Amino acid sequence: MEMYYRKKNCGRSKGYSDIILSDREIIDVLIPECERLAKQYSTKIETIGSGNCGSGISGFAIEQKGDIYPCIFGVSDKTQCMGNILSDSLDDVWFNSVKLDKFRKLDEGFGYLAASASEELMEYEAVDLVVTKISILSFIQYDSYVQTLAENVQANIDKFYQIRGLQNSIKFYENSIISIEGSSGCNARCTFCAYNEDVGHGWYGRNVTEAAKDIHYLYEVHNITRFAFSDNEFGGNLYECSYRAKILADHLNDIRDKISIALNIRSEVLDADSILNFSNAGVKTFLIGIESFNERTLKKIFGKLVDQAHLHKVIKECDKNNIKTVTSYILWHPWQTIESIKFELDKIEKFGRYRIPQFLTNSILKVMPGTPIELKIKRDNLLKKSFFHRSFEFQDNNTKVLYNLLKTWYEENVYPTLRQLNDENKGDIRQIAELKIKEFEWLKQQLI
Ligand code: SF4
């Protein structure tokens, strides 16, 4: 079996980034050519997509002078050198290198989320090491070599995107929804959100022309019409977003009526021009995180800055341009009060209850390990912690009673019907809508 790894420029080739194959060249030329050669020589050729790191497991790197490194992304760092192919025994390096061994143990326990769950992860023997930048948490096993290595890899991952294993052998079905990557991370810092902690950086945009070409390619070659950007936040900031929307419109306007695109975006990065351009590119749905209409909750608890006047303008523009806005909402959180629930319900009604897809029973804060809100809940002694699971207690007893009543009402009046419904049956959507209206009315009645 032969393997193809995406190459990295080093030495004198650093100034010539165009000699590296682009995603399109890999898809259009390399993969078909590998398939042809594999057939001709009865062998197997694998192209490497994103996935677990293979260093120390399926490979290592040798630079031009023969120095051996765990990974191609480490070849510029002499501290990671494990020997030289011209003078050392490869068996010795492979089987006895402490550095490679540490690399082998690296793959599962990396980052802030792993740090928060490190007690369970280690007890469960899922990982040997947890690597993190949060050095103040004393329970984390810390290793400086792995730390340096992890940072080096992370810095390079930020720069080099890999294709997502798109192969001609993948079968697409009618109505398949294909995920496209347009960026990673987010410039906001919501206290409950784990996305930035997970990727280890803020917002980082992929070349949007490439993303638009991917969509065009999939439409032309595979007749795919439904796309969803997998990004946490597609826009970045107001200026980036306006540029990205324009590029999408330029590349996709000719097929805008044939495709539909959904994407996650913050209302703050949208304006009338970018909304028009998104519409011209075939965007039909925005997923926007509102989370609360209570300014205090947003600022003090969720760490989220939302300009409410701007949000309402954005929603109006979306309606005008036939872009559906689907919003996420967190009604139930540890510090919620009855007064604030009344306020929220009133605002939700004016805003349009139908824009919030879930039942309000389910609009409850999910506590993700490693997030700032987890620490805040812990500090207030409201954290409920079990093996690989976090949740919370309500601070206000009246809120707790109301939430439990709602849950019981939901279990008796909604859940039995939901169990009978089926995605395929269009009439069932109407039933869900009716149940959601009933839930809203029931909750309002309790507060009179
Ligand atoms: S705006 Fe969304 S993606 Fe960004 S930090 Fe907040 S919840 Fe996370």
* Nearest CA, atom 6, ligand 1: 190
Mutational test site, ligand 1, from 113, 184, 192, 195, max ligand atoms within 8 Å of CB: 195
In three-state secondary structure terms, 275 is helix
What's the pLDDT at 306?
86
What's the pLDDT at 70?
79
Cα 66 from chain centroid (whole Å): 38
* Nearest CA, atom 8, ligand 1: 193
Sign of CA dihedral 338, 343, 348, 349: positive
* Ligand 1 atom having least distance to the Cα of 291: 7
Residue 160 has pLDDT above 60, yes or no: no
Poorest-confidence range of 76-90, 109-123, 376-390?
109-123
> Distance (Å, rounded) from C-alpha 192 to C-alpha 422?
32
* Ligand 1 atom having least distance to the Cα of 233: 3
What's the pLDDT at 90?
84
Alpha-carbon dihedral 213, 218, 224, 225, rounded to 10 degrees: 10
How close is the Cα of 222 to the center of ligand 1, in Å? 32
- Helix, strand, coil share (%) of the chain residues, nearest 5: 50, 15, 40
Residue 388 has pLDDT above 80, yes or no: no
Please report which helix (H) or strand (E) contains residue 385, including its range: strand 383-386
How close is the Cα of 189 to the center of ligand 1, in Å? 6
| Whole-number percent of the chain with pLDDT over 90 | 43
How close is the Cα of 200 to the center of ligand 1, in Å? 14
How close is the Cα of 309 to the center of ligand 1, in Å? 19
Q: Where are the beta strands (DSSP E) in 251-323?
A: 260-264, 283-291
* Ligand 1 atom having least distance to the Cα of 195: 8
How close is the Cα of 355 to the center of ligand 1, in Å? 18
Average pLDDT, the chain: 80
How close is the Cα of 134 to the center of ligand 1, in Å? 21
| Dmax (CA) of the chain | 83
pTM reported for the whole predicted model: 0.66
**Residues with Cβ within 6 A of ligand 1?**
186, 188-190, 193, 195, 232-233, 266, 289
What's the pLDDT at 157?
44
DSSP one-letter code for 21: P
Residue 413 has pLDDT above 80, yes or no: yes
Residue 290 has pLDDT above 80, yes or no: yes
Q: Cβ distance 265 to 233 under 8 Å?
A: yes
Mutational test site, ligand 1, from 183, 184, 186, max ligand atoms within 8 Å of CB: 186
Alpha carbons within 13 A on the beta-carbon side of 6: 22
More confident residue, 123 or 115: 123
Please report which helix (H) or strand (E) contains residue 216, including its range: helix 208-222
Mutational test site, ligand 1, from 113, 193, 270, 371, max ligand atoms within 8 Å of CB: 193
By the 10 Å C-beta count (0-12 exposed, 13-18 middle, 19+ buried), 186 is classed as buried
More confident residue, 393 or 68: 393
* Nearest CA, atom 1, ligand 1: 188
* Ligand 1 atom having least distance to the Cα of 186: 4
In three-state secondary structure terms, 326 is strand
Mutational test site, ligand 1, from 189, 190, 365, max ligand atoms within 8 Å of CB: 190
How close is the Cα of 193 to the center of ligand 1, in Å? 6
Poorest-confidence range of 95-109, 229-243, 414-428?
95-109
More confident residue, 222 or 239: 239
Single-letter code of the amino acid located at 59: G
How close is the Cα of 16 to the center of ligand 1, in Å? 36
Mutational test site, ligand 1, from 197, 233, 237, 269, max ligand atoms within 8 Å of CB: 233
Alpha carbons within 13 A on the beta-carbon side of 76: 11
What's the pLDDT at 132?
44
Q: pLDDT tens digits for 200-217?
A: 667 888 888 888 988 887
Q: pLDDT tens digits for 68-94?
A: 887 766 666 787 788 898 898 888 888
What's the pLDDT at 3?
47
> Distance (Å, rounded) from C-alpha 186 to C-alpha 172?
30
The stretch 351-363 carries a mean pLDDT of: 92
> Distance (Å, rounded) from C-alpha 2 to C-alpha 96?
25
Q: pLDDT tens digits for 46-64?
A: 554 434 456 666 678 888 8
What's the pLDDT at 27?
62
How close is the Cα of 52 to the center of ligand 1, in Å? 25
* Ligand 1 atom having least distance to the Cα of 192: 7
Q: Cβ distance 33 to 168 under 8 Å?
A: no
* Neighbouring residues of 144: CB distance < 8 A, sequence distance ≥ 6: none
Q: Cβ distance 146 to 154 under 8 Å?
A: no
Both structure tokens of 441: 């009315």
What's the pLDDT at 161?
36
What's the pLDDT at 44?
64
More confident residue, 58 or 147: 58
Mutational test site, ligand 1, from 191, 199, 203, 232, max ligand atoms within 8 Å of CB: 232
Buried residues in 61-93 as b, exposed as e (16+ CB within 10 A): bbbeeebbbbbbbbbeeeebebbeeeeeeeeeb
Alpha-carbon dihedral 436, 441, 445, 448, rounded to 10 degrees: 120
How close is the Cα of 396 to the center of ligand 1, in Å? 27
